[in-house]
């Protein structure tokens, strides 16, 4: 049992950094060196528990752990750490985590230096009025250059790095110093024990045994098992049946007091009852005013998710609702398509976010999906003065009624070593970018571009990594909408338009994109027994065309008595493989084609 702790002996902090700079590994060492988890139970990046996190080697969900630390001053402190993801698509997790704590460890890889996400994190910390402790990580590597990186932190970010802690999260160097700095330099939380309960609903997730598990940060008051609580947003009332903390396994406690972070369960069935950012108070004698909540994150990429097997639509709905609970930055609504039946049009923070959600639905819920071509939201102004928000290019109204179309623009910040600057500028230019700023920090350039979001969303990040051999980093935010010459491009396969492949393009780039798409599709669609024309068209006008030649040979040379069983099983297996494709008229298109057709090689 963990006892209630004095405010002065609590420190709450998040670990933030650019992707792969070692946040989760640092969390491992903090957990390990304080004995929170026994050595034999440790594994690398232990907080990255999801299959997808382990496979991709990245953190996707923020995770909270409570550790007890006996400091050099002889006192024992309770530290609540939140490990956050580094990828730009999940920056919402970072800003939300920061709301729940008083300070952050800003980890910078001493072999890489300040990257775009490092900057973004700093701005968020400043927004949240946070104390930052710079940590230079990976000093065990020969390429580590702490002096240069410290200087960079001061130059680029403008914070004092003289006290930066030198750490190797791998070998454990500097871990003790880190823990001491947390205790000494981060402020303790504030809050009143005898005030009405004010608890911030930081996160929630669905567990098949326990139901909805809610992560809370107590601001004021005390929360106990058996308490009747009220969700301030919709007034729903529940009884707390479990209360505890993550170490990182769930461990029950009697109560959570001001400044503490922990979980509760309360037999909550309705997904809408646990809105992230909501304030929880007691049913009686509750707080008057809720916390300001979180700044909502707007999905920027939309695509349709359809069950491969249309009978699984209801299962898909359930899966999506449960995932949304765990991921407030993801939106969905029912959609129906002529070719694909019923599904959902979903909004994401980026393509990686989309891929992660899709993977999780497929794996955790066993539903095979078809993903349609991703799109951003366009504002379509009609001649009659009305405005339509277009999430799906297939719904684009007839051009004769359209006055003009606006698209979302972003401000992108890219940090890149000098030698690759030329390639980066060319890439941005090709994507209709307008250069806004170009400055240097040592041998690295920082460029700021105004870019159309739709040119960035699909594959910009991949392209950037490939042209700079992984040395560039990238961050962006949406600035607003601007009119441009945008049209819908349809794709016709075997002379039939395929809704799910329709996209919005800039008129000047339509031919190029159309050509790239039909060429790509020619590779992605397997040969059939007949030849298949693949065309890109704007309105009635074909702007690009390819023909997929007919399959010429697919026959087994020898098939005698001894081959019957084996050959039949082989055909059966191949037939099952075909189910991963969707029928459009007479043509079968593999599900992977819908996204891959949009990825451009140049």
Ligand X SMILES: Nc1nc2c(ncn2[C@@H]2O[C@H](COP(=O)(O)OP(=O)(O)OP(=O)(O)O)[C@@H](O)[C@H]2O)c(=O)[nH]1
Ligand Y SMILES: C[S@@+](CC[C@H](N)C(=O)[O-])C[C@H]1O[C@@H](n2cnc3c(N)ncnc32)[C@H](O)[C@@H]1O
The minimum distance between CB 59 and Mg ion, in angstroms, equals 3
The minimum distance between CB 473 and ligand X, in angstroms, equals 12
Point out which span in 86-94, 303-311, 476-484, 548-556 binds other proteins (CB under 8 A).
548-556
- Of 560-589, binders to other proteins (CB under 8 A) are 560-562, 564-565, 567-568, 571-572, 574-575, 578, 586
- 559 lies in the binding site for other proteins (CB under 8 A): yes
Element (H, E) at 164: none
Task: Please state, in angstroms and rounded to a whole number, the distance separating the CA atoms of residues 544 and 566.
Answer: 43
The residue within the footprint of other proteins, chosen from 269, 285, 541, 552 (CB under 8 A), is 552
CB atoms closer than 10 angstroms to residue 554: 8
Shorter beta-carbon distance to ligand X: residue 97 or 503: 97
Cβ burial 67-103 (10 Å sphere, 16+ → b, else e) = bebebeeeeebbbbbbbbbbbbbbbbbbbbbbbbbbb
- Of 516-535, binders to other proteins (CB under 8 A) are 528-530
- How are beta strands 103-109 and 131-137 bridged, if at all? parallel
Cα angle: 523, vertex 529, 531; to 5 degrees: 60
Alpha-helix residue ranges (DSSP H) falling in 365-420: none
Point out which span in 71-79, 136-144, 250-258, 271-279 binds ligand X (CB under 6 A).
136-144
- 158 lies in the binding site for other proteins (CB under 8 A): no
- 555 lies in the binding site for ligand Y (CB under 6 A): no
**Sequence-distant (≥ 6) Cβ neighbours of residue 513 within 8 angstroms:** 489, 503, 505, 536, 600
Task: Please state, in angstroms and rounded to a whole number, the distance separating the CA atoms of residues 54 and 359.
Answer: 13
Point out which span in 188-196, 238-246, 286-294, 547-555 binds other proteins (CB under 8 A).
547-555
Shorter beta-carbon distance to Mg ion: residue 22 or 262: 22
The residue within the footprint of ligand X, chosen from 2, 19, 149, 287 (CB under 6 A), is 19
**Sequence-distant (≥ 6) Cβ neighbours of residue 288 within 8 angstroms:** 196
The residue within the footprint of other proteins, chosen from 1, 556, 601, 602 (CB under 8 A), is 556
Shorter beta-carbon distance to other proteins: residue 440 or 530: 530
**Sequence-distant (≥ 6) Cβ neighbours of residue 480 within 8 angstroms:** 408, 409
Map 340-351 to HEC letters. CEEEEEEEECCH
- 360 lies in the binding site for Mg ion (CB under 5 A): no
* Count of residues that bind other proteins according to CB under 8 A: 25
Which burial class, exposed, middle or buried, applies to 428 when counting CB atoms under 10 A from its CB (0-12, 13-18, 19+)?
buried
- Of 58-97, binders to ligand X (CB under 6 A) are 58-59, 85-86
Cα angle: 60, vertex 51, 138; to 5 degrees: 55
Start-to-end Cα distance in the chain? 58
Report the partner that residue 530 touches, choosing among other proteins, Mg ion, ligand X, none (CB closer than 5 to 8 A by kind): other proteins
- 557 lies in the binding site for ligand Y (CB under 6 A): yes
Give the contact letters, 153-172, x = binds to ligand X (CB under 6 A), - = no. Answer: ---------------xxx--
Selection from 422, 419, 429, 470 nearest residue 449 by Cα: 429
Shorter beta-carbon distance to ligand X: residue 144 or 218: 144
Shorter beta-carbon distance to other proteins: residue 37 or 587: 587
428's tokens: 């941005």
The residue within the footprint of Mg ion, chosen from 12, 24, 91, 468 (CB under 5 A), is 24
Shorter beta-carbon distance to ligand Y: residue 434 or 570: 570
- Of 52-111, binders to Mg ion (CB under 5 A) are 59
Shorter beta-carbon distance to other proteins: residue 429 or 583: 583
The minimum distance between CB 560 and ligand Y, in angstroms, equals 8
Element (H, E) at 172: none
Judge if the upstream peptide bond of residue 162 is cis by omega within 30 degrees of 0. Answer: no
Distance from chain centroid for Cα 141:
29
Judge contact between 379 and 389, C-beta under 8 A: yes
The residue within the footprint of other proteins, chosen from 551, 580, 583, 592 (CB under 8 A), is 551
The residue within the footprint of ligand X, chosen from 2, 11, 16, 22 (CB under 6 A), is 22
Judge contact between 407 and 504, C-beta under 8 A: yes
Task: Please state, in angstroms and rounded to a whole number, the distance separating the CA atoms of residues 164 and 178.
Answer: 9
- How are beta strands 223-224 and 255-256 bridged, if at all? antiparallel
Judge if the upstream peptide bond of residue 248 is cis by omega within 30 degrees of 0. Answer: yes
- 311 lies in the binding site for ligand Y (CB under 6 A): no
Point out which span in 187-195, 229-237, 515-523, 554-562 binds other proteins (CB under 8 A).
554-562
The residue within the footprint of Mg ion, chosen from 18, 23, 87, 130 (CB under 5 A), is 23
Selection from 219, 216, 240 nearest residue 289 by Cα: 219
Point out which span in 209-217, 404-412, 416-424, 546-554 binds other proteins (CB under 8 A).
546-554
Among all residues, whose Cβ is closest to ligand X?
A: 86
Point out which span in 14-22, 183-191, 465-473, 565-573 binds ligand X (CB under 6 A).
14-22
* Count of residues that bind Mg ion according to CB under 5 A: 3
Q: What are phi and psi of 224, to 5 degrees?
A: -130, 160
Task: Please state, in angstroms and rounded to a whole number, the distance separating the CA atoms of residues 96 and 526.
Answer: 45
Residues that bind other proteins (CB under 8 A): 528-530, 551-562, 564-565, 567-568, 571-572, 574-575, 578, 586
Residues that bind ligand Y (CB under 6 A): 557-558
């Amino acid at each position: 049992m963990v006892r209630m702790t004095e405010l002065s002996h609590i420190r709450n902090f998040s670990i933030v950094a650019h992707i792969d700079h070692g946040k989760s590994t640092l969390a491992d060492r903090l957990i390990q060196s304080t004995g929170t988890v026994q050595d034999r139970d440790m594994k690398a990046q232990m907080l990255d528990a999801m299959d997808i996190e382990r496979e991709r080697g990245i953190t996707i969900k923020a995770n909270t752990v409570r550790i007890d630390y006996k400091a050099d001053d002889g006192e024992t402190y309770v530290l609540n750490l939140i490990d956050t993801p580094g990828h730009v698509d999940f920056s919402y997790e970072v800003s939300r985590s920061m709301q729940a704590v008083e300070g952050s460890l800003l980890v910078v890889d001493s072999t890489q230096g300040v990257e775009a996400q490092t900057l973004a994190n700093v701005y968020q910390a400043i927004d949240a009025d946070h104390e930052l402790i710079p940590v230079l990580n990976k000093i065990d590597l020969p390429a580590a250059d702490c002096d240069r990186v410290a200087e960079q932190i001061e130059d680029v970010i403008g914070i004092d790095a003289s006290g930066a802690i030198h750490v190797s999260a791998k070998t454990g160097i500097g871990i003790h110093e880190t823990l001491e700095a947390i205790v000494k330099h981060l402020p303790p939380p504030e809050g009143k024990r005898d005030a009405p309960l004010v608890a911030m609903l930081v996160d929630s997730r669905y567990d098949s045994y326990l139901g909805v598990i809610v992560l809370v940060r107590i601001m004021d008051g005390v929360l106990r098992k058996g308490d009747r609580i009220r969700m301030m947003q919709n007034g729903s009332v529940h009884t707390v049946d479990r209360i505890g903390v993550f170490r990182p396994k769930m461990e029950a406690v009697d109560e959570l007091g001001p400044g503490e972070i922990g979980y509760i369960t309360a037999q909550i069935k309705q997904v809408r009852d646990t809105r992230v950012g909501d304030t929880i108070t007691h049913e009686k004698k509750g707080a008057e005013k809720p916390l300001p909540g979180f700044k909502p994150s707007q999905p920027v990429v939309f695509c349709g998710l359809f069950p491969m097997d249309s009978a699984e639509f209801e299962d898909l709905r359930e899966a999506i609702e449960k995932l949304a609970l765990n991921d407030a930055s993801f939106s969905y609504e029912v959609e129906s398509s002529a070719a694909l039946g019923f599904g959902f049009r979903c909004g994401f923070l980026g393509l990686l976010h989309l891929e992660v959600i899709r993977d999780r639905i497929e794996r955790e819920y066993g539903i095979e999906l078809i993903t349609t071509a991703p799109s951003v939201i366009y504002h379509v102004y009609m001649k009659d003065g009305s405005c339509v928000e277009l999430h799906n290019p297939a719904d684009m109204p007839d051009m004769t009624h359209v006055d003009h179309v606006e698209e979302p623009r972003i401000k992108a910040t890219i940090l890149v070593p000098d030698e690759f600057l030329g390639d980066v500028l060319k890439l941005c230019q090709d994507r209709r970018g307008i250069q806004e700023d170009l400055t240097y920090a040592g041998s690295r350039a920082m460029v700021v571009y105004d870019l159309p979001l739709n040119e960035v969303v699909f594959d910009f990040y991949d392209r950037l990594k490939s042209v700079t051999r992984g040395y560039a980093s990238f961050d962006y935010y949406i600035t607003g909408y601007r009119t441009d010459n945008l049209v819908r491009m349809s794709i016709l396969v075997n002379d039939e338009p395929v809704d799910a492949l329709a996209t919005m393009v800039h008129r000047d780039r339509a031919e190029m994109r159309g050509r790239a798409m039909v060429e790509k599709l020619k590779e992605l669609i397997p040969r059939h027994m007949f030849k298949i024309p693949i065309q890109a068209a704007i309105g009635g006008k074909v702007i690009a065309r390819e023909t997929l030649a007919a399959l010429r040979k697919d026959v087994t040379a020898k098939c005698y008595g001894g081959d019957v069983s084996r050959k039949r099983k082989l055909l059966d297996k191949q037939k099952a493989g075909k189910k991963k494709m969707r029928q459009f008229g007479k043509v079968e298109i593999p599900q992977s084609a819908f996204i891959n057709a949009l990825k451009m090689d140049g």
